[in-house]
Structures are given as structure tokens and as C-alpha cells.
Amino acid sequence: MAGILAWFWNERFWLPHNVTWADLKNTDEATFPQAEDLYLACPLAFCIFMIRLVFERFIARPCAMGLKIQTNGPQKAQPNAILEKVFTAITKHPDEKRLEGLSKQLDWDVRTIQRWFRQRRNQEKPSTLARFCESIREKSSAHVAWK
């Protein structure tokens, strides 16, 4: 464990040339942030993350249910390997020429392919409930920050 800590706090990595950890010790004239101050960052970040999860689950979600906000997301596009490959590798908004080619390849009409792409794009959007929970969390944290 001591070897890992020595490697992690290596002066050559963290400090400029000709500066050592001894140079950053607190004196009567100057006080410096200490490396030990970083030990609080991870537990604090974890606590903030847990507060966010608890808030979303036990406050924001019940508020949304009380307001009858939809829990379901956009309609799912039917699985199609060819269209999925075009969507992920080439474009999310195919032009008319590409639509015609896909139409002939799949034996679907152009309108059906356009609908599939629209549904597939919308699939990546968060549901109304998820957006509401994010918005209420942002509003409440902004409200706390202004107090």
C-alpha cells in the first residue's frame, strides 16, 4: 500500500520542476492546501450522488406521478439490421437518394423508412418523466444555491 501511495504522490508528476512537497508545508507566513484535503473529495462526491438518487426516486418521481406525467418513452422502432447499420454508421437523417436505395433493398415504401428513422431518433430521447425529474432536480439545486 505504501508503494502505491508513493507512486501516486510522486513529486515529478504533481509538482513543477525544483518544487517538493516540503516546500508546500504550512508556515507562519503562508498556508497551502494540503494533499490530505483531497481525501474528502471522493466521499463527498459519493454523498452528493446518493442524495441525487434519493431525491429523484422519492421526491421527483412521486411528484411526476401525482401530476400524471407519462412514464413511457417514445415508441420503439421495429428491429431491422440494415436500417440500424445505416442509422449508427452512416446517418441519422438519410437524404432522398439513400431513402430510395433502402426502399428498393428492403422492399418498403419510402414513408415507412422515414417513419422508422424518426422513431429510432426519438428512441434516444429521454421520456417526459425523466426530463421532469432532471428539471425539478435542477430547479431545486438552483433554488438552494440562491438562498
C-alpha cell at 88: 449508427
Note whether 45 and 90 are same-domain residues.
Answer: no
The C-alpha atoms of residue 46 and residue 23 are separated, in whole angstroms, by 32
The pLDDT of residue 140 is 58
Note whether 92 and 49 are same-domain residues.
Answer: no
Q: Which domain holds residue 8?
A: 1-66
> Which sign does the torsion angle of CA 74, 75, 80, 82 carry?
negative
Instruction: Kindly give, in sequence order, each residue whose CB lies less than 8 Å from that of residue 63, ignoring residues fewer than 6 positions away.
Output: 132, 136
Q: What is the pLDDT along the chain (147 residues), one digit of tens a residue?
A: 888 988 988 888 888 989 888 888 888 888 888 777 888 888 999 999 999 889 888 888 888 888 887 777 667 777 777 777 887 787 877 878 888 888 777 888 888 888 888 888 888 787 778 778 777 766 655 555 544
Tell me how far the alpha carbon of residue 89 is from its chain's centroid.
22
Note whether 61 and 122 are same-domain residues.
Answer: no
For 33-69, the pLDDT digits (tens) are 877 788 888 899 999 999 988 988 888 888 888 888 7
Closest C-alpha to 120, from 74, 82, 72, 81: 74
Q: Model pTM?
A: 0.50
